[in-house]
Structure 1
Amino acid sequence: MVGRHPTAQLLAVGEGRYLIDCGEGTQLRLLEHRRRLSSLRVIFISHLHGDHYFGLFGLLSTLHLQGRQEPLTVVGPPGLELVLTTQAMHSQMQPGYTITFVPVDTEAHAVVYEDAQVRVWSLPMRHRIPCAGYLFEEQPRRDKLVKELLPTSLTPSELSQLAQGHDLPANEATGRPALAHAAVSVPAAPPRRYAFCSDTRYQPELAELVRGVDLLYHEATFLDDLRERAAITYHSTARQAATTARDADAHRLLIGHFSSRYKELAWHLKEAQAVFAWTELATEGLIVSV
């Protein structure tokens, strides 16, 4: 409906920018929110229903027209590569950058992508066609050096060694005694975790796969009075999404992918918060920090 756009989320972790789903008009939404298309590193597609990927070919074409040269990785279900290469062939679009396709086994919970910022796991969804969610785990960060605890006589090389977590032997030239990394640092914050659960029927077993996540996004297409309709169409209700968050001991829940039959969303929020208090609506343009 007007004012609600097809699914697309931009996840920022350090220097990494990861696009999750790419519904029609995604590139326009990114530009509206002043997000540079060139900063995208990886695109994750959950499944091949149009409201989750119809904007992808247009985005890839725009990146080509903008002169992108950096490689791009596209992760998604089997068939996605064929769809995009067929579109490229018939439109005679030959991108000036390398696109690497990573097919996902939508029945498996397995690592599908990893870089210096994140490790990403697939999450099996129960939908009408093969569909995967994604669990993003931040890579462990190094302990943080405390400036006030550092000797002033340290050389750049010694500072670099400490920053990498190494202990320093005694420096006879300066008379500095041995220095343990633990003595001048504080532990880094625990790695953050975000789970994106796309279109799916309610599945209690999902809670174990996303246990303890800092932020859980779960579809909530219907209110619970239509739970039978939700099951038939392989979707979930707001109450079911909240039940998954509660059973997973998630810290926070975002619900989205609302049916166009609902003009107002207050009842979705009320229904979910009755089960899991730390619930928010995933509305257009929302920025969430973890």
Structure 2
Amino acid sequence: MKLTILGCYAATPRTLTNPTSQVLEIKNRLFLIDCGEGTQVQLRKNKIKFSKINHIFISHLHGDHLYGLIGTISTFSLLGRTTDLHVYGPKGIKELILLQLKLTESWTTYSLFFHELESKESEVIFEDQKVVVKTIPLKHRVYTNGFLFQEKPGDRKLNVEAVQQYNIHTAYYQKIKGGGDVTLDNGTVIENKKLSFDPIPSMSYAFCSDTVYNEAIIPIIENVDVLYHESTFLESEASLAAKTLHSTAKEAARIALKANAKQLILGHYSTRYDGIERFKEEAESIFPNVLLGDDGVSFEF
């Protein structure tokens, strides 16, 4: 599982910082999460192929998470894209994008599908053979969702020595990988655990931006491998965080601790601060495994 942060600063783009956007690579799928202004430039800088992005997830309809979407959609057409593109986001996102395409007479060269979200409860919004994506209802000034990406368990690993020892035919190998037992010609049942090893553990990633401190999300993200949680402010601006329905670094750490997350990534920093190291220091006073998100930084898990 690989996460590339394209942008992770709040409000407006600046010379050296970009608003929220990131790419998650999981089970050989690329998911674009939020699409702030400048996203397509950041995609190029980080050498991420546009053609591999088939699903875009938009958390909410604030500009620093959305204003790059129409440009990205249009560029896909200019590059001659023919593959379907699916956009998941709050109700209204379809009207917003189609109006821009209509008025600019920039209809896409590919099929564009919108999956508009309204539920205030967690729901599955994408699923295939290898990955499932659920919403994480967040609490912000407008309707907002985070997203939980989960790998589905893979096949078990064949114990080659064991299957050879029992002289098991190759026709049974797929059954064994799927967790099935094998019955020999003499009627003896060989349990699967003797013929295979546990699969590689499934990974999970939770994206939570923007939100006020909200313990209601903990049951949804419990035991997540990696949690990205917004940390717009330091503790000295806790009152401002509460007023604007954002979180502090310490509050992000408290969510990670209570959810038993293995790793916390901070982001969505207010541009009022000179640097971001203090965010890590404050969070580590609550939760030990803290990484700082920053533009152009990639993490592999």
Q: TM-score, normalised by structure 2?
A: 0.88
Aligned partner of residue 134 in structure 1, secondary structure: strand
Q: 1:193-232 residue pairs with structure 2 within 5 A?
A: 193-232=204-243
* Equivalent-residue separation in structure 2 for 1:164 and 1:230 (angstroms): 48
Amino acid of the residue matched to residue 102 of structure 2? M
Aligned residue number for residue 135 of structure 2 = 122
Aligned partner of residue 94 in structure 1, secondary structure: coil
Aligned residue number for residue 242 of structure 1 = 253
* Equivalent-residue separation in structure 1 for 2:229 and 2:264 (angstroms): 7
Deviation at 1:209, TM superposition (A): 2.2
* Equivalent-residue separation in structure 2 for 1:59 and 1:171 (angstroms): 60
Aligned partner of residue 133 in structure 2, secondary structure: strand
Deviation at 1:98, TM superposition (A): 1.4
Aligned partner of residue 6 in structure 1, secondary structure: coil
Deviation at 1:93, TM superposition (A): 1.6
Aligned residue number for residue 8 of structure 1 = 21
Aligned partner of residue 218 in structure 1, secondary structure: strand
Structure with the higher fraction of residues in strand conformation? 2
Q: 1:142-181 residue pairs with structure 2 within 5 A?
A: 142-151=155-164, 157-170=171-184, 181=192
Structure 1 stretch 192-201 or stretch 139-148: which is displaced more? Answer: 139-148
Q: 1:28-43 residue pairs with structure 2 within 5 A?
A: 28-43=41-56
Say how many residue pairs are matched: 287
For residues 229 and 91 of structure 1, do their structure 2 counterparts lie closer, same or farther at Cα, with a shift above 3 Å needed?
same
Q: Which runs of 5+ in 2 are unaligned?
A: 1-13
Q: Note if contact 1:45-1:52 (Cα within 8 Å) is conserved in structure 2.
A: yes
Q: Which runs of 5+ in 1 are unaligned?
A: none
Deviation at 1:233, TM superposition (A): 1.1
Deviation at 1:285, TM superposition (A): 1.8
Deviation at 1:178, TM superposition (A): 7.0
Deviation at 1:182, TM superposition (A): 3.1
Aligned residue number for residue 88 of structure 1 = 101
Aligned residue number for residue 268 of structure 2 = 257
For residues 275 and 106 of structure 1, do their structure 2 counterparts lie closer, same or farther at Cα, with a shift above 3 Å needed?
farther
RCO higher in structure (CA 8 A, sep ≥6)? 2
1:20 to 33, 51, 64: 33
Amino acid of the residue matched to residue 237 of structure 1? T
* Equivalent-residue separation in structure 2 for 1:36 and 1:147 (angstroms): 38
Alignment of 1:269 with 2:269, yes or no, is no
Aligned partner of residue 54 in structure 1, secondary structure: coil
Structure 1 stretch 228-237 or stretch 113-122: which is displaced more? Answer: 113-122
